[in-house]
Amino acid sequence: MSAMPSEILLIPFGEVAAALLAHLCKMVAMTFGCRCRVGNTLPLPVSAFNTRRNQYSAHAILNYLNHREGTLMLGIVDIDLYVPDLNFVFGLADTSGQRAVIALPRLRQESYNLPKDERLLLARAVKEAIHELGHTSGLGHCNNRSCVMAFSNSLSDTDHKGPAFCRQCRVLIRAGQDGSRPKERPEPR
């Protein structure tokens, strides 16, 4: 990992609520101790849509984020994303390119025929944003289920974990601030 970013840039694809973007920016700036700003909205890339699945490719969305040195980039989409071999993903990170993306639809209560809960949506979006940005900073998945870097196989996993790094992940992130790459943890099986 290179030194910690000087900036985190949030890039909305298509229509994303301004209040949600502002809240995410505030929370990731506090977590990573750097400047955050919302960039220009990009159109949803038509080529990323898979008509057979009726979803967008998370990898294709990542490819539309142009990496800038010293900047972590987080795409925010309000569409359903997938990667091969999985039905959907809450987010995806490209650790080598310091780019990530999160998807909002499956973080919403109403996606599960439950009453709308904007506060819960914001909390879930923050967790997923910090999680994916953690990957871009060199962290792997954490075995501590309360850590924001714990793998979310379901929405209940996301709800269980907190919005912060555990002590061990904080140490690894801080170790990366000196320009060295944090030692990644093995992925859970």
Catalytically annotated residues: 132
Q: Which residues pair with 82 in a beta bridge?
A: 57
Contact 140, 185 (CB under 8 A): yes
CB-based burial, 48-73: b 16+ in 10 Å, e otherwise: beeeeeebbbbeebbebbeeeeebbb
d(CA 91, CA 61): 11
Q: Which helix (H) or strand (E) holds 76?
A: strand 71-77
Residue in the structure block whose two tokens are 């220009």: 40
Amino acid letter at 61?
I
d(CA 35, CA 30): 9
- Phi then psi dihedrals of residue 121, to 5 deg: -60, -45
